[in-house]
Structure formats: structure tokens, C-alpha cells
């Protein structure tokens, strides 16, 4: 019987699949030593099956896919993906409107690429330091702790999504609200950035407990 588990059931000798087209089209002479060794290893070892979310197209972005997965509810990937594309379209429309209304000298400063806006907004939302509960002598303290990259990305995306789901008017749709939040985060304003600042302020207030960490 096969039981569902959370970790991978592949043998550790299986290698990850290489999806990028550029790495396969490189001629043999241009490869460095390590890449040659890597190619020889791949000729001998088995390779894992590529998951359906991994794609080699130029339009796919791992961060956008991760964000879509987090927005998805009860496995409805179609709906989540359509919401994401509508969000990106809404961002593009708003930026284009601003672009055409702006005077000539300001036209270069306006960013119209929704992917760039998305990435920059996420980067602006990522907290730099987090709080973790550490128990000492019966009392639990909130200790400031450095976070890993994955955790920062996850927190930024989670805050954005919860903000969009809870604090909106009953009639506004998700793409509209998300595009608004992303544009605000791109300009370092808005409720998500405020939440990040609140976290930083709490970490700063508790900096005396930083010695409770043991890692």
C-alpha cells in the first residue's frame, strides 16, 4: 500500500530535471569543468519526473506560480491562475493610464512591466527580522531572530493575500484589490508595508531578549 507522506519518496540518487533550454543548447566546448562532470553524472544516474508546475517557457515565473498556488482555494488552480492574470493585466492598465497622462520628462520613471512591479513589491514587503517564541523559566518571550529567504518570501506573500481577502469592500473583486495593494507596496506605502514596519518595531523593542537565542 502507498501511504501519503509529505517528504519525497525518490531514492537519493535521483537528480533534478534541467528545464532551461539555454543550458541544453550550449555547445560542448563552452562548458566548464564542473558542468562537464555534471553532464557525465546525468548520463549515469536516473532523473526525477518533472512536476507539472515546472515549465521551460519564457513566460513562466517561479515566484508567480508560488503566489498563484498560495491564492488557490480547494485545488481550483484554473480560478487562481485566471485571477493572477487579471491582476497583472489590471496593473498594466493602471500603469499605462498613468504613463499616457504623465508629462514627457516623467514618462521614463513610470514602470509598466507588471512582472517587475510584482517582484519589487514582494521584495519591499519581505520582513528582515522575525520574532520567535522562546520559553525561559516558565515565561515565553518574543525573541528577534533572523529569517531564511524562503520564510521571508512566504510571509510577504501571505500578508498580501490575507490583506486582500479581509480588508476590502464587499463588491471589489480580488484582481482589483490585489493590483492596488501591489502598486502601493511598489511605492513603499500601504497596509502590508505597515505590517512589516510593525513587526520590525516589535523586534526592535524586544532587542534585549536577543541573547536568548542559541543559534
Residues that bind another protein (CB under 8 A): 124, 128-129, 144, 146, 188, 197, 200-201, 203-204, 207, 210-215
Q: Minimum distance from CB of 208 to another protein (Å)?
A: 10
User: Which CB, 144 or 175, lies closer to another protein?
Assistant: 144
First to last CA, the chain: 40
Q: Minimum distance from CB of 215 to another protein (Å)?
A: 7
Q: Minimum distance from CB of 204 to another protein (Å)?
A: 5
User: Which CB, 55 or 126, lies closer to another protein?
Assistant: 126
Q: How far apart are CA 78 and CA 75, in angstroms?
A: 9
* CB environment 25-43: b (16+ within 10 A), e (fewer): eeeeeeeeeeeeeeeeeee
User: Which CB, 33 or 149, lies closer to another protein?
Assistant: 149
Q: Minimum distance from CB of 128 to another protein (Å)?
A: 6
Q: Look up residue 74 and give its DSSP letter.
A: T
User: Which CB, 59 or 214, lies closer to another protein?
Assistant: 214
| Cell numbers placing 94 | 493602471
Amino acid at each position: 500500500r502507498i501511504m501519503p507522506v509529505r517528504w519525497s519518496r525518490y531514492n537519493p540518487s535521483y537528480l533534478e530535471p534541467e528545464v532551461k533550454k539555454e543550458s541544453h543548447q550550449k555547445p560542448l566546448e563552452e562548458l566548464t569543468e564542473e558542468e562537464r562532470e555534471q553532464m557525465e553524472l546525468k548520463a549515469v544516474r536516473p532523473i526525477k519526473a518533472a512536476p507539472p508546475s515546472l515549465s521551460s517557457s519564457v513566460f513562466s515565473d517561479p515566484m508567480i506560480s508560488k503566489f498563484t498556488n498560495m491564492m488557490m482555494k480547494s485545488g481550483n488552480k484554473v480560478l487562481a491562475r485566471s485571477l493572477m492574470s487579471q491582476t497583472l493585466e489590471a496593473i498594466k492598465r493602471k500603469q499605462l493610464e498613468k504613463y499616457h497622462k504623465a508629462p514627457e520628462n516623467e514618462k521614463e520613471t513610470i514602470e509598466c512591466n507588471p512582472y517587475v512591479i510584482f517582484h519589487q513589491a514582494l521584495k519591499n514587503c519581505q520582513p528582515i527580522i522575525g520574532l520567535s517564541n522562546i520559553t525561559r523559566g516558565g515565561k515565553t518571550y518574543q525573541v528577534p531572530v533572523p529569517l531564511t529567504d524562503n520564510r521571508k518570501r512566504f510571509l510577504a506573500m501571505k500578508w498580501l493575500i490575507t490583506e486582500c481577502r479581509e480588508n476590502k469592500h464587499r463588491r471589489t473583486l480580488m484582481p482589483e484589490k490585489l493590483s492596488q495593494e501591489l502598486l502601493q507596496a511598489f511605492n513603499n506605502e500601504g497596509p502590508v508595508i505597515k505590517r512589516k514596519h510593525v513587526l520590525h518595531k516589535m523586534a526592535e523593542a524586544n532587542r534585549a531578549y536577543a541573547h536568548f537565542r542559541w543559534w
